[in-house]
Amino acid sequence: MVLPNSTVLIILLLQGIFSQCSSGRVVNYFPTDEREIDEREVIQLPCSLDLMDPISDLVLKIIKEIQSHMHDGIPSMGIPPLDPLNISKYDFDVREPSFKAYGQIRDALVKNLSTFNVTNISTKLLKKSVNVSIEIPNLLITGDYTLKGKAFSFFPVTGQGDFLLKPEDAKCTIYTQLGYKDGHFYLTSFDYKLTIGDIYAKFDGIYGSGLISDILNQILNNFGTALFNRLEPLVHEDIRKELMEDIDRILKDIKVSQLGDLLGMMPLLC
């Protein structure tokens, strides 16, 4: 699975910041004083982003800079356009007591990623870690799919065609921690938490076409959020690992010396 991600550039820039900053207080906007990186929640800031300390303020400026380049990418760093984000292929195999299915998603486009709003930034200078929470109000996912499976061990569920997913109130928190070796960066920890409020789904060709297809699509829409909450944990670890591998693969090709131009996009505040 090819999953280019704007997290890559955030990681690179943050490592450059951490390597240049020798002082400054550790920032943590979580409700408690000692919340560790392994906790997985989407947290809202209790105060305005305008009131952040210099390091977190710089992180926000970097994110905004990345956001402004998501449509065209940053060719000098080998960062491709990220909106829309292309997922060329993803194989899935879901095995639940009441539902078993396998298939493939192809040529998927994740659109409107650049419309995100930052809701929280938490940095820990000594740990070289940063947690960023965002909201994506207009997320849209399209592509092709094939599906074969059974519901309740006897009802066949098959399909092939175009699909459309439109999550509402999508929120994502990204957790990263960095290491450094031989002039290159690598991830020592990476994870994410994704939640949605509701979701509209349409799968053309599911169980053929006609009335049954319409009924199945209606069921998907009536129980979309519950299905997402049930199925996301089943594929979460695979996606997390592949994202981490993709990011590390890119990091291996980028040296610390290449960060100079990117960090020159804006003045350092520390």
Amino acid code (one letter) for 170: A
Task: Please return the burial class of 32, using the count of CB atoms within 10 Å of its CB with bins 0-12, 13-18 and 19+.
Answer: exposed
Range of 58-67, 70-79, 217-226 with top mean pLDDT: 217-226
Range of 93-102, 121-130, 138-147, 236-245 with top mean pLDDT: 138-147
Q: Which residues contact 137 (CB under 8 A, 6 or more apart)?
A: 115, 117, 169, 170
In the chain, what are the domain boundaries?
Answer: 7-263
The answer on pLDDT for 267 being more than 80 is: no
Per-residue model confidence (pLDDT) at position 65: 80
Tens-place pLDDT, residues 199-221: 999 999 988 778 888 988 898 88
User: Would you say 178 and 15 are in contact if contact means Cβ atoms under 8 Å apart?
Assistant: yes
Per-residue model confidence (pLDDT) at position 13: 46
Question: pTM for this structure?
Answer: 0.70
Half-sphere exposure of 267 (CA within 13 A, CB side): 2
Going by CATH, does the domain composed of 7-263 fall within 3.30.70.2860?
Answer: no
Give the residue among 127, 119, 110, 99 at the shortest CA–CA distance from 38.
127
Tens-place pLDDT, residues 14-56: 444 444 443 333 333 333 333 343 444 433 343 345 556 677 8
Task: Please return the burial class of 66, using the count of CB atoms within 10 Å of its CB with bins 0-12, 13-18 and 19+.
Answer: buried
